[in-house]
Amino acid sequence: MTENEDTGDDQIQFCTLLELLRSRDNMSVAFKKTRFSMTLDMTAAFFVVSVNTNEELVGVVEENISMFEISACMCQSSFVCDDSSVVVEQGSSVGICLTPSSTDVRIPRFELSMAANGYTYSPITMDGTTQTVDSTTIVTTSVTGVTKITVRLVTGLFQGLSDVVVISGNGVLEFDSSKRLADEGEASKTFQVYISTYSEGCKKTSVYQKLISTLGNIMP
């Protein structure tokens, strides 16, 4: 209880919280706060109570999951994207980072393939809700929600003249379960990244690297 300095009336202030809970796990999916202010007028022959309310809709995520995207880039040493002109050696591993376009969503599963010279290698596959990762591939996730895939550049990708490997895939996005949600569901999003390679002993500059270098020189 407080006293109104202008009128001398006593005031009682309190808040109420109404939550909508999902039945299967009691997760709060929406909520509303209401602030009440009750004034007691003790100067009348009997006291008068007046009530003012101040409703406030609070932080409910209402975006459609299909609005979000997945970006992909090469990230050899950390969860941070490398310069696009970096060249990867045959027989080594390459790191690919997948990042959702919002911290409110995550990538629970995905598939990934690598293609060059008419050859395709699929180290990560999906069958419905099941994700399969082959034995030479490592998947890790950072605290910020970035997913890193470390995968071998297998021999078949180098059996031809091309020195560019196209890495592409399809990932599932869903809302982070720790958020208060007004919408549920998931969405499937594609991603793609190009990497430049060379063969051990040749140490040649790739066509893709030359293109990146040329663009960098002519752009203001």
pLDDT 10s digits, 66-93: 888 999 999 998 999 988 778 888 778 9
The CATH fold assigned to 65-212 is Immunoglobulin-like (2.60.40)
pLDDT 10s digits, 18-38: 776 655 556 555 667 676 666
HEC profile of the chain: CEECCCCCCEEEEEEEEEEEECCCCCCEEEEEEEEEEEEEECCCCCCEEEEEEEEEECCCECCCHHHCCEEEEECCCCCCCCCCCCEEECCCEEEEEEEECCCCEEEEEEEEEEEECCEEEEEEEEECCEEEECCCCEEEECCCCCEEEEEECCHHHHCCCCCEEEEEEEEEEEECCCCCECCCCEEEEEEEEEEEEECCCCCCCCHHHHHHHHHHHHCC
Residue 133 has pLDDT above 80, yes or no: yes
pLDDT 10s digits, 175-207: 876 554 444 578 899 999 999 887 555 544 444
Residue ranges of the chain that CATH labels 2.60.40.10: 65-212
